[in-house]
Amino acid sequence: MSPDQIAAARGAALPTPALTPSGPAEAPAAPPAGPAITEAKLANGLDIVVIPDRRAPVVTHMVWYRNGSADDPLGKSGIAHFLEHLMFKGTKNHKQGEFSELVADSGGQENAFTSNDYTAYFQRVATGELAVCMEYEADRMKNLVLSDEIVAPEREVVMEERRMRTDSDPSDQLNEAVQAALFTQHPYGKPIIGWGHEIEGLDREDALRYYNRFYTPENAILVVAGDVEPAEVIALAEKIYGPIPAHGEAPKRNRPREPEPRAHRRVTLTDEKVEQPSYQAVYLAPSYRTAAPGVGEALEVLGHLLGGGNTSLLFKQLVMEQKIAVAAGAHYQGTAVDDTRFYVFGLPAPGVSLERLETAIDAVIAEVAAHGVDEADFHRAKTRLVADAVYAQDSQAALARWYGASLATGLSIADVAAWPARIEAVTLDDVKKAAHWLDKKRSVAGFLLPANDEGAAETAAA
Amino acid sequence: MSPDQIAAARGAALPTPALTPSGPAEAPAAPPAGPAITEAKLANGLDIVVIPDRRAPVVTHMVWYRNGSADDPLGKSGIAHFLEHLMFKGTKNHKQGEFSELVADSGGQENAFTSNDYTAYFQRVATGELAVCMEYEADRMKNLVLSDEIVAPEREVVMEERRMRTDSDPSDQLNEAVQAALFTQHPYGKPIIGWGHEIEGLDREDALRYYNRFYTPENAILVVAGDVEPAEVIALAEKIYGPIPAHGEAPKRNRPREPEPRAHRRVTLTDEKVEQPSYQAVYLAPSYRTAAPGVGEALEVLGHLLGGGNTSLLFKQLVMEQKIAVAAGAHYQGTAVDDTRFYVFGLPAPGVSLERLETAIDAVIAEVAAHGVDEADFHRAKTRLVADAVYAQDSQAALARWYGASLATGLSIADVAAWPARIEAVTLDDVKKAAHWLDKKRSVAGFLLPANDEGAAETAAA
């Protein structure tokens, strides 16, 4: 329901469906059990991960910075995403567009994305182009030009992006309000793109200070996947990224912890542009990084059982049996540095109120919390999740992205490799217990309603 | 409904009813038109305000610091209030309790309070004791002892205060959740006492850093009201407070502005301890400091008309005529550095749902926004507010407090003096326009419900 990152497409197509901006389908993306990963760390602090994939003479080159929108300084929301834009504007050595042209001319693809917890840049090119990609990427890690002439017009581009994306879309506005209500003090409550009135105030000084603070080798992870020799990749990285001076130490994330939620919240948005009403519930839940061992995996299985596709409990009960919804689902957004979100949603059938839908969804959850799930469904869900992990290895970019996102959110290579076994280890009782995280008072409900008349909000809530 | 400050009584009775912890009755407290105020500023930056009141040989001595809970550093909520406690623990020159004993022995009273925007300390003593009060107060402005032996046990006292006040009171828990939902990024959303998990982490280093940053002459306002000669008070302050070295400049408030609210939010808390359900709505509204000229005053008049006592619109319509509520009211919390709160509340009659009450309250507000208010009611409300300002002068401490709170939130002596005339200048049309701030999407509704059974939350919301 709520995008957890902004992927900015800049003339280059996204390489695989798994790399589209994440939604319910993306969150439980699957980690591989297979490849032999090589890790290294340069003297300047740069982490390196090499993932062999020899099926084609293609390489994916990514640099992940361990800073996302949740690290935006107070009153400067949107600056992580703004920097992602500015990273394409040229350096002391290369003018704007050179790097992108190089990638495009060789038939490659490139992109960048900003999430709550990280900002990442990638190119997918012929193996022979790896060194030149590294050179361009290393160059913009230290030589970015941030003049007023560059910063001011790009801020307008971002403002326009916000106007297009959010200010004209009631559903996105509701999502912003729901996240802000869920995270009362943790910065996950701020939109990745930033609040409009704060984006307007971002200037060259802000960009420069941010760039100097976060765009450092200690704060970055280089991920290379493809038809490469790990030792050669590391030697190449040493030569190209190695000369970038260390800044001292990696910047610290300053993330206040959420107080324990005690009251259920409901956020309602009515707008003339809404044609299909919708209901969502977002629960504050532990992430893979913050959860006790096994709890993240149990929430993943629960998300799949409750709402992963047309065989899920919510779909079967609300859409097929009760026929009160035209769609329903759930998913767990487990990859996060801090406590995260478990999403449940439904689109009501014509004439069904959101309150009725909410009550029906709550009953499905309560049933799971009280009596657990069907054993055959349970085994099918686990098998499917593990299979997804295997299939994910088919996509080189998805594989690189899975490792990058995991490492950038505080997990280790070992955590990623152990994931399928940990999913296998989830028990029926674990799933039942995990459903207790879906406690009303841990959640925010989002009601999206058409504004048929002035009294719509009241009528709908009565 | 929601306390906007914590007044810590330490064995000393509160001097007047106007100084009890604020609630609906306190917020529209009245400024005086009368006394000839003297202002001064010491070389070290301390602001001085002297208010003559010659009816009795009594003096009120207050020091206001321009820092409250909304200035608590990220992850350190509660530290402003914690420091207020620590300020009573003794200095290099005086051991704990000496100052309080002095005040008590001379038949005086003392207290301190922490609000969103300020922290203040006061004594009310015989005029002859003014100099010694100044000496003790100046002493703890620079010589506070903050050892581990003092900080750690006092933190437990504050934790216990939180347990007593909030953790056992569903109504206070709901208020915390409502404020957190209203202020999605502005620190007014944090409880003054702090989140429990953050209070637990406050240590000596935090206290010392905070004390050094905020407890400075540049950040303070000395208010003296009573049977005194202004020139003598200023000379005495120069002698006693003057030697405290300036720190350079006053600490800056770092307050991110709220994004424009776009979706209505509802927060529901059900608890077995609830006997009387209640409904509140809190609207984000401009404060006297942030509003366009006249708008704060119009909101004040609107608050009084809508919900100030038993002749108000809400009381008459809901309690007396429709008989669906046993109480109802409203008030505007205008004294604030940043955008603030307009409160509306009601307690339903037995058998009446909160939804029905909400709809009825919304209808009263919508009627005012559409057609304005009765002209006779309007003149009565203004007369009453201005009269309150005159009566307030009867209480020396209330007078001192009014000036202190106004100055500490960014207003001037002239603003306070002009308030009655500005209330007089409010027009019928201003009040009608002010009601447009009470737009559903600017608000958070708080539902407090008894937990009769497990399904209470769902049933009540259906």
pLDDT tens per residue, range A298-352: 999 999 999 998 889 999 999 999 999 999 999 999 999 999 999 999 999 999 9
pLDDT in tens, A135-169: 999 999 999 999 999 999 999 999 999 998 888 89
Q: CA B218, B222, B227: angle at the middle one, nearest 5?
A: 160
Q: Which pLDDT belongs to residue A221?
A: 98
8 Å CB contact between B270 and B328: no
CB contacts < 8 A, A to B, total 133
Q: With contact defined as beta carbons under 8 Å apart, do B307 and B24 qualify?
A: yes
Minimum mean pLDDT among A2-16, A255-269, B96-110, B143-157: which range? A2-16
Is the predicted pLDDT of residue A268 greater than 70, yes or no?
A: yes
Minimum CA–CA partner of A177 in chain B? B263
Q: How far is CA A146 from CA A193, A204, B48, in A?
A: 19, 6, 46
* Contact yes or no for B181 and A265 at CB 8 A: yes
Q: What is the pLDDT of residues A72-108, one digit of tens each?
A: 999 999 999 999 999 999 999 999 999 999 898 888 8
- In angstroms, the CA B312 to CA B346 distance is 13
Distance, CA of A456 to CA of A270 (rounded, Å):
7
Judged by DSSP in three states, B440 sits in: helix
Which of these is catalytic: A26, A84, A218, A300?
A84
In B163-261, where does DSSP find H-type helix?
170-182, 196-199, 204-214, 230-240
Yes or no, beta carbons of A177 and B266 under 8 Å apart:
no
Beta strands in B392-455 (DSSP E): 443-450
Write down how long chain A is. 462
Tell me the mean pLDDT in the region A362-373: 97
> Whole-angstrom Cα distance, residue B362 to residue A445?
21
CA A458 centroid distance within chain: 35
In sequence order, which residues have a C-beta less than 8 Å from that of residue A51 and are 6 or more positions away? A35, A37, A223, A224, A225, A226, A396, A399, A400, A403
Which residue carries 């989140």 as its tokens? B195
**Summary mean pLDDT of chain A:** 89
Contact criterion met (CB below 8 Å) for B447 and B279: yes
Long-range contact set of residues B297-300: C-beta below 8 Å, sequence gap at least 24: B297/B419, B297/B422, B297/B423, B297/B425, B297/B426, B297/B430, B298/B426, B298/B430, B298/B431, B298/B433, B298/B434, B299/B332, B299/B334, B299/B342, B299/B434, B299/B437, B300/B28, B300/B332, B300/B334, B300/B385, B300/B423
> How do beta strands A119-126 and A264-271 pair?
unpaired
Instruction: Name the residue among A27, A26, A39, A19 with its Cα closest to residue A413.
Output: A39
DSSP structure class, residue A70: G
Closest chain A CA to residue B169: A262
Backbone phi, psi, residue A410, to 5°: 95, 5
pTM of the complete model: 0.81
Angle at A191 between CA A212 and CA A200, to 5 degrees: 65
Per-residue model confidence (pLDDT) at position A460 = 37
CB contact under 8 A, A265 and B260: no
Among B261, B262, B266, the residue with its CB nearest the CB of A266 is: B266
pLDDT of residue A13: 27
Locus of tokens 């230290």: A142
In what side-by-side order are the strands of the sheet with A325-332?
A325-332, A340-348, A278-285, A443-450, A264-271, B264-271, B443-450, B278-285, B340-348, B325-332
Residue A244 has pLDDT above 70, yes or no: yes
The answer to whether A134 and A237 have CB atoms below 8 angstroms apart is yes
Sheet holding B38-41, edge to edge: B5-8, B109-115, B119-126, B58-65, B220-226, B47-52, B38-41
- Inter-chain residue contact A358 with B461, CB threshold 8 Å: yes
**What are phi and psi for residue A77, nearest 5 degrees?**
-60, 145
The DSSP line for A311-322 is: TSHHIIIIIIIS
**pLDDT on residue A5:** 54
Chain A interface residues (partner B, CB cutoff 8 A): 74-75, 77, 173-174, 176-178, 180-181, 184-185, 189-190, 195-198, 254-257, 259-269, 355-356, 358-359, 362, 440-441, 446, 457-458, 461-462
Q: Is A84 a catalytic residue?
A: yes
CA neighbor of B315 nearest in space, from B29, B28, B24: B24
A192 pLDDT above the threshold of 60: yes
State the Cα–Cα distance between residues B299 and B433, nearest whole angstrom.
Answer: 9
For residue B442, give every residue at least 6 positions away whose Cβ sits within 8 Å of its Cβ, in sequence order, or none: B261, B283, B284, B285
Looking at residue B10, its pLDDT comes to 34
pLDDT class of A132 with cuts at 50, 70, 90:
very high
Residue A448 β-bridge partners: A269, A278
pLDDT tens per residue, chain B (462 residues)?
333 555 433 332 222 222 222 232 233 344 444 668 999 999 999 999 999 888 888 999 999 999 999 999 999 999 999 999 999 999 999 999 999 998 988 888 899 999 999 999 999 999 999 999 999 999 999 999 999 999 999 999 999 999 988 888 999 999 999 999 999 999 999 999 999 999 999 999 999 999 999 999 999 999 999 999 999 999 999 999 999 999 988 888 888 999 999 999 999 999 999 999 999 999 999 999 999 999 999 999 999 999 998 889 999 999 999 999 999 999 999 999 999 999 999 999 999 999 999 999 999 999 999 999 999 999 999 988 988 887 777 788 888 999 999 999 999 999 998 999 999 999 999 999 999 999 999 999 999 999 874 433 333 333
Residue pair B184/A189 in contact (Cβ under 8 Å)? The answer is yes
H/E stretch holding A432: helix A428-434
Q: Give pLDDT, residue A34.
A: 60
Residue type present at position B422 = R
- Return d(Cα B228, Cα B195) in angstroms, integer: 42
Chain A residues near residue B462 by CB distance under 8 angstroms: 355-356, 359
| Residue among A21, A72, A397 at smallest CA distance from A253 | A72
* Contact across the interface for A267 and B268, Cβ inside 8 Å: no
Partner-chain contact A74 B74, CB within 8 Å: yes
**Number of H helices and number of E strands within chain B?**
16, 12
DSSP state of B319: I
Q: Which residues of A touch B185 (CB under 8 A)?
A: 77, 180, 189-190, 195
For B15, B29, B207, B287, B421, the CA distances from B297, given in Å and listed in that order, are 28, 12, 38, 10, 10
Residue A195: list chain B partners with CB under 8 A: 185, 259
Q: Is A428 left (phi over 0), alpha (psi -120 to 50) or beta?
A: alpha
CA pair distance A149, A345, nearest whole angstrom: 44
Residues of B designated as active site: 84
Query: Which of A171, A190, A458, A459 would you mutate first to test chain B, the one with the most B CBs within 10 A?
Result: A458
pLDDT tens for B107-159 read 888 999 999 999 999 999 999 999 999 999 999 999 999 999 999 999 999 99
ipTM, 2 dp: 0.72
Q: End-to-end alpha-carbon separation of chain B, Å?
A: 25
CB contact under 8 A, A259 and B356: no
> Coil, helix or strand for A113?
strand
